[in-house]
Amino acid sequence: MRAAHRVAAAGIALGAVLSLAATTASSADAESPDAGTVRVEAATDGDLEAAASARVAAMSVREKAASVVMGHIPTTDAAALRDYMEETGIGGFILMGANIPDGEAAVRAVTAGLTVDPAFPPLIAVDQEGGDVSRLGGDAFASALALKGEPAAAAQQAFAGRGGLVQRAGIGVNFGIVADQTDDPGSFIYRRALGTSPKAAAERVAAAVEGEAPESLSTLKHFPGHGAAPGDSHSGIPSSGMSKARWRAADALPFEAGIDAGAALLMFGHLAYTAVDPAPASLSAEWHRIAREELGFGGVAVTDDLGMLQGSGVAAYADPVANAVSALAAGNDLVLAVMFSNARTAPDIVDGIVAAVESGELDPQRLDEAATRVAVLRMGLAADGRGLMPCADCAPVD
């Protein structure tokens, strides 16, 4: 029941199934107060998962491959963004600073351009942590630097506001909850972490998910935790010799708390806990097993930006397509590419995934699993109306 609860709570907003009450020719039925009325019934987890499985089963290998790629091009031109999404068929898009025009209405025009099919919207994501990492304007809510010294309820309030800000922009996914923990002010992640101890971070991470989840699909990052691995993964592969037992008793706690609270996505970092696996967690089947089997995560596993692997300078990670295939094989459901990318990067990754399936390098069942998990979130967004744009004349979030 515990694992089932986590899957159900993974930020998936189940829609409503509308059904007309049957009427008959008999006068008794015609006089029934239920005759001809509309009845609203909540869809079940099984309904959504079955619908996602059926949709993926009808896809070609190329369509499945495209659906597990989150791409990026740096423009605010809604027409160009729509063309990009239509031509690539990719399942997600991350908004960076170059995609954010001034004003909420202008941002909504961007996200509307990305949403080719509101019945099956892409996973549009943004890094809206607040404070140092903010893409959207108008985020006056408390940042992690302040929240680490406040009660957990303050984190819930801040992320409730942040989730509303994200939702009003037409964005479904926030890569905004940093579940790393450290008490070292010299760490590059310190200002972005919600706590300076495992317990404090866990309380605030759970509260942040609970606050944000009604409006935006929450993402925990950067699993299994930057705090114990010194260095910045934008320019190297931070590593730690911490034992798994010590990790489980400390750095794992904020991630577990966020999973229990219902986070829909878990972002795997490009960092290595060498006592568990010498490979970066983003490319480690063992870390994916731990997240699924030991922490009970049932949602979408997403890589941190694969361009960061290229930026590490490690020769083995110089090929972005190979990195994407390896990430999928390890257990990621969604591969993200930003740094060093251009309009051809996502299509090239799609080509590489297709080639890997055809050559036997990537198990087609692994691709099906990833595509289905992504489809569940996309269909959940649509069922909850999150594939539709908010009203243009609503007042902005204060």
Residues belonging to the active site = 234, 304
What's the rounded Cα separation, in Å, for the pair 267 and 372? 18
Contact 212, 196 (CB under 8 A): no
Q: Per DSSP, what are the bridge partners of residue 92?
A: 70, 123
Q: What angle do CA 196, 11, 156 make, to 5 degrees?
A: 40
What's the rounded Cα separation, in Å, for the pair 61 and 206? 37
- CB burial readout 159-189, b (16+ within 10 A) else e: bbbbbbbbbbbbbbbbbbbbbbbbeeeebbb
Strands 265-268 and 239-240 come out as unpaired
Contact 221, 228 (CB under 8 A): no
Burial class (CB in 10 A: 0-12, 13-18, 19+), 19: exposed
Q: Per DSSP, what are the bridge partners of residue 40?
A: 18
Strands 16-20 and 217-223 come out as unpaired
Among residues 281, 175, 158, 183, which one has the least CA distance to residue 223?
A: 281
For the chain, the helix, strand and coil percentages under 3-state DSSP, each to the nearest 5: 45, 15, 40
The residue whose two tokens read 């509309």 is 38
* 338 backbone φψ class: left, alpha, beta (φ>0; ψ -120 to 50): alpha
The residue whose two tokens read 């960092």 is 271
